[in-house]
């Protein structure tokens, strides 16, 4: 499925922002009850009390609404990760916190609400812009940690930085992607510590 270009519609002033927020809030509640895949824009229009045409003034498609909801959820995970990483001293501990927090926060947001899991799954399988931007930001956090570790001589510097980032990201990816994470329930308690320790040993000078 081709990812749609997101057109958030008019942004003329506070009233328009209020309507957009109202649509997103109502859509989130509706998706929680009925699921993302089973809901149409017509269903949302009836639930909100707006006409379908009026909703299309602000969002060009159901996916555009889903993108907004997904972006908010992914920003919550990213905020948790940045808070955990910023609160750690030294690159090795920052890397451990990165692994631990991504798994814990992703599990909470993706699976405590199974209906919203539908949106996360669509975002991952269809490569929505919100999901791709999130992955790039997580890679950016990882890059900053590795740079710090190299500067402080905690990590080796022979391997090109981009190669190292890509390799570690492949280790992290099953815990970022909800479609993959759902098959890792039996390992989420110990996997972050084991994987981060393995990665840290590979980074040692």
For residue 30, name the pLDDT band (cuts at 50, 70, 90). Answer: confident
Higher pLDDT, 47 or 101: 101
C-beta separation of 184 from 175 below 8 A: yes
Please name which of 72, 59, 70 lies closest in space to residue 4, comparing C-alpha atoms: 59
Average pLDDT over residues 177-202: 86
Average pLDDT over residues 43-52: 87
C-beta separation of 65 from 21 below 8 A: no
Average pLDDT over residues 95-108: 92
Q: Is 137 exposed, middle or buried (0-12, 13-18, 19+ CB in 10 A)?
A: middle
Q: Is the pLDDT of residue 114 over 80?
A: no
Element (H, E) at 126: none
Q: What's the pLDDT at 96?
A: 97
Average pLDDT over residues 22-38: 85
In terms of pTM, does the model score above 0.85?
Answer: no
For residue 49, name the pLDDT band (cuts at 50, 70, 90). Answer: confident
CA distance 51 to 40: 13
CA distance 195 to 179: 19
Please name which of 86, 87, 105, 71 lies closest in space to residue 175, comparing C-alpha atoms: 105
Say what angle helices 14-34 and 62-86 make with each other, to 10 degrees: 90
Cα-Cα end-to-end distance for the chain: 45
């Amino acid at each position: 499925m081709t990812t749609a270009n997101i057109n958030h519609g008019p942004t003329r002033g506070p009233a328009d922002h209020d309507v957009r927020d109202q649509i997103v809030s109502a859509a989130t509640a509706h998706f929680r009850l009925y699921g993302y895949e089973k809901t149409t824009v017509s269903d949302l229009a009836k639930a909100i009390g707006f006409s379908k045409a009026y909703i299309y003034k602000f969002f060009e498609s159901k996916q555009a609404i889903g993108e907004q909801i997904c972006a908010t959820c992914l920003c919550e995970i990213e905020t948790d990760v940045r808070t955990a990483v910023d609160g750690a001293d030294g690159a090795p501990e920052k890397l451990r916190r990165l692994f631990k927090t991504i798994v814990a926060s992703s599990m909470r947001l993706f699976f405590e609400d199974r209906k919203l899991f539908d949106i996360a799954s669509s975002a991952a399988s269809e490569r929505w812009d919100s999901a791709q931007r999130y992955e790039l930001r997580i890679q950016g956090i990882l890059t900053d940690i590795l740079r710090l570790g190299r500067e402080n001589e905690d990590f080796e510097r022979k391997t090109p930085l981009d190669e190292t980032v890509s390799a570690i990201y492949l280790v992290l990816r099953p815990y970022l992607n909800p479609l993959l994470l759902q098959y890792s329930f039996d390992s989420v308690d110990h996997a972050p510590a084991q994987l981060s320790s393995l990665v840290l040993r590979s980074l040692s000078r």
